[in-house]
């Protein structure tokens, strides 16, 4: 399947790190964003993982993010870079993504960290998640920065996400 569209719901929102020709606020249905993936390569280290977001299937849920249109002739190099960036547990998955004002979804590539990957941490009490985020850092920076930047981008783009907002409020209170 050719790749022309990439859906970002985490750090790709503020740091796509690839060339794109269009960017749209967008959403997927049947998925929710959760801080359930361990990061031992970006926002944590082996033995002390940070927590980053993944998509989790949930009927009737809506997850907002950014949809990037890339030039088809650059797709292979962009996907090689993203495969490396998302190497610690994420796999490519195609999902339907919606853009405001367009009735039909676009078949879109995204990266999802399923529960069967070795870095998957799964659900935990919000206080435990925030404690782990507050204490973690890795080569890409602090885990706190990841949560704060995500929350800031949501505010900037009018995106509501109860999970991220709750964690941000616990972190900053």
* Residue 28 belongs to domain with CATH number: 3.10.490.10
- Position 1 scores a pLDDT of 56
Residue 2 has a pLDDT of 62
Q: What pLDDT does residue 13 have?
A: 96
pLDDT of residue 3: 80
Number of domains in the chain: 1
pLDDT in the model for residue 100:
86
d(CA 86, CA 103): 30
| Residue 86: active-site member | yes
Helix (H, G, I), strand (E, B) or coil at 173: coil
Chain centre to alpha carbon of residue 108: 14
Average pLDDT of every residue of the chain: 96
Q: Within a 10 A sphere around the Cβ of 78, how many other Cβ atoms?
A: 20
Residue 37: which domain range?
5-172
From the candidates 4, 73, 86, 169, give the one annotated as an active-site residue.
Answer: 86
Q: Which residues of the chain have pLDDT under 70?
A: 1-2
């Amino acid at each position: 399947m050719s790749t022309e569209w990439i859906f970002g719901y985490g750090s790709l929102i503020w740091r796509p790190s690839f060339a794109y020709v269009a960017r749209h606020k967008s959403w997927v249905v049947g998925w929710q964003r959760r801080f359930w993936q361990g990061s031992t390569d970006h926002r944590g280290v082996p033995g002390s993982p940070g927590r980053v977001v993944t998509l989790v299937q949930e009927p009737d849920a809506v997850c907002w993010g950014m949809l990037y249109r890339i030039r088809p002739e650059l797709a292979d190099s962009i996907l090689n870079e993203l495969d490396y960036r998302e190497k610690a547990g994420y796999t490519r998955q195609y999902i339907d993504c919606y853009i405001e004002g367009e009735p039909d979804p676009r078949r879109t590539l995204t990266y999802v960290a399923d529960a069967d990957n070795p870095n998957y941490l799964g659900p935990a009490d919000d206080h435990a998640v925030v404690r782990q985020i507050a204490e973690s850092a890795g080569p890409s920076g602090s885990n706190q920065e990841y949560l704060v930047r995500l929350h800031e981008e949501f505010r900037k783009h009018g995106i509501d996400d109860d999970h991220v907002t709750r964690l941000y409020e616990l972190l900053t209170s």
